[in-house]
Amino acid sequence: AQSVSQHNHHVILSEAASLELGCNYSYGGTVNLFWYVQYPGQHLQLLLKYFSGDPLVKGIKGFEAEFIKSKFSFNLRKPSVQWSDTAEYFCAVNAMNTGFQKLVFGTGTRLLVSP
Protein backbone atom coordinates (compact mmCIF):
# COMPACT_ATOMS: atom_id res chain seq x y z
CA ALA A 1 0.00 0.00 0.00
CA GLN A 2 1.13 3.52 -0.66
CA SER A 3 2.24 5.67 2.22
CA VAL A 4 3.53 9.20 2.59
CA SER A 5 5.89 10.37 5.33
CA GLN A 6 6.36 13.92 6.45
CA HIS A 7 9.18 13.98 8.91
CA ASN A 8 8.59 17.37 10.50
CA HIS A 9 5.36 17.64 12.42
CA HIS A 10 5.94 21.14 13.72
CA VAL A 11 8.28 23.79 12.35
CA ILE A 12 8.84 27.25 13.82
CA LEU A 13 10.67 29.86 11.77
CA SER A 14 11.28 33.57 11.85
CA GLU A 15 10.23 35.71 8.92
CA ALA A 16 12.75 35.70 6.06
CA ALA A 17 14.13 32.29 7.07
CA SER A 18 14.33 29.58 4.43
CA LEU A 19 11.96 26.64 4.55
CA GLU A 20 12.33 23.03 3.54
CA LEU A 21 9.70 20.44 4.41
CA GLY A 22 10.48 16.83 3.76
CA CYS A 23 8.19 14.35 2.05
CA ASN A 24 8.88 10.74 1.15
CA TYR A 25 6.50 8.25 -0.40
CA SER A 26 6.52 4.53 -0.84
CA TYR A 27 5.46 3.38 -4.26
CA GLY A 28 7.66 2.36 -7.12
CA GLY A 29 5.33 2.96 -10.04
CA THR A 30 4.06 6.07 -11.76
CA VAL A 31 2.84 8.68 -9.32
CA ASN A 32 1.49 12.20 -9.24
CA LEU A 33 2.73 14.33 -6.36
CA PHE A 34 1.10 17.28 -4.64
CA TRP A 35 1.55 19.77 -1.86
CA TYR A 36 -1.58 21.20 -0.32
CA VAL A 37 -1.81 23.97 2.26
CA GLN A 38 -4.48 24.60 4.86
CA TYR A 39 -4.48 28.12 6.28
CA PRO A 40 -6.22 28.58 9.64
CA GLY A 41 -9.97 28.34 9.15
CA GLN A 42 -9.70 27.75 5.42
CA HIS A 43 -10.06 24.79 3.10
CA LEU A 44 -7.23 22.79 1.62
CA GLN A 45 -5.66 24.55 -1.33
CA LEU A 46 -3.28 23.22 -3.94
CA LEU A 47 0.22 24.71 -3.66
CA LEU A 48 1.85 22.82 -6.49
CA LYS A 49 1.83 19.53 -8.35
CA TYR A 50 4.15 17.25 -10.24
CA PHE A 51 2.88 14.98 -12.98
CA SER A 52 5.86 14.61 -15.30
CA GLY A 53 8.66 16.55 -16.93
CA ASP A 54 10.92 19.00 -15.11
CA PRO A 55 11.37 17.63 -11.57
CA LEU A 56 11.59 21.13 -10.15
CA VAL A 57 8.10 22.55 -9.99
CA LYS A 58 7.05 26.00 -9.00
CA GLY A 59 3.79 26.75 -7.25
CA ILE A 60 1.93 29.68 -5.87
CA LYS A 61 3.27 32.19 -3.34
CA GLY A 62 6.92 31.49 -4.12
CA PHE A 63 6.88 27.81 -3.17
CA GLU A 64 8.71 25.16 -5.16
CA ALA A 65 9.30 21.44 -4.82
CA GLU A 66 11.78 19.01 -6.27
CA PHE A 67 10.92 15.47 -7.25
CA ILE A 68 13.87 13.11 -6.75
CA LYS A 69 12.74 9.76 -8.08
CA SER A 70 15.73 7.81 -6.75
CA LYS A 71 14.98 9.02 -3.23
CA PHE A 72 11.18 8.79 -3.51
CA SER A 73 11.11 12.35 -2.25
CA PHE A 74 9.18 15.51 -3.04
CA ASN A 75 10.45 18.20 -0.67
CA LEU A 76 8.84 21.61 -0.45
CA ARG A 77 10.97 24.75 -0.32
CA LYS A 78 10.62 28.47 -0.01
CA PRO A 79 13.66 30.78 0.15
CA SER A 80 12.12 33.34 2.48
CA VAL A 81 8.99 32.71 4.51
CA GLN A 82 6.45 35.30 5.57
CA TRP A 83 4.16 35.47 8.57
CA SER A 84 1.25 34.73 6.21
CA ASP A 85 2.78 31.32 5.43
CA THR A 86 1.69 30.11 8.85
CA ALA A 87 -0.42 27.07 7.97
CA GLU A 88 -0.46 23.30 7.83
CA TYR A 89 1.20 21.72 4.82
CA PHE A 90 0.31 18.32 3.41
CA CYS A 91 2.21 16.23 0.93
CA ALA A 92 0.06 13.83 -1.11
CA VAL A 93 0.51 11.13 -3.71
CA ASN A 94 -1.76 9.26 -6.06
CA ALA A 95 -0.66 6.37 -8.17
CA MET A 96 -1.40 4.81 -11.50
CA ASN A 97 -2.24 1.47 -9.88
CA THR A 98 -5.37 3.03 -8.36
CA GLY A 99 -6.19 4.92 -11.53
CA PHE A 100 -5.03 8.08 -9.77
CA GLN A 101 -8.33 7.95 -7.89
CA LYS A 102 -7.06 7.65 -4.33
CA LEU A 103 -4.97 10.48 -2.92
CA VAL A 104 -2.82 9.43 0.01
CA PHE A 105 -1.78 12.21 2.37
CA GLY A 106 1.07 12.62 4.77
CA THR A 107 0.25 13.54 8.35
CA GLY A 108 0.98 17.20 7.75
CA THR A 109 3.48 19.75 9.00
CA ARG A 110 2.35 22.72 11.04
CA LEU A 111 4.42 25.76 10.18
CA LEU A 112 4.47 28.75 12.49
CA VAL A 113 6.24 31.84 11.21
CA SER A 114 6.95 34.45 13.84
CA PRO A 115 7.08 38.10 12.76
- Establish if 112 lies at the interface with another protein (CB under 8 A): no
- Establish if 5 lies at the interface with another protein (CB under 8 A): no
Task: Round the CA-based radius of gyration of the chain to a whole number and report it.
Answer: 14
Q: Cβ closer to another protein: 40 or 115?
A: 40
Q: Cβ closer to another protein: 82 or 97?
A: 97
DSSP alpha helix (H) spans, the chain: none
Query: Coil, strand or helix: which one is 60?
Result: helix
- Establish if 98 lies at the interface with another protein (CB under 8 A): yes
Handedness of CA 60, 100, 42, 91 (dihedral sign): negative
The footprint of another protein (CB under 8 A) covers 32, 34, 36, 42-46, 49, 51, 90, 92, 98-108
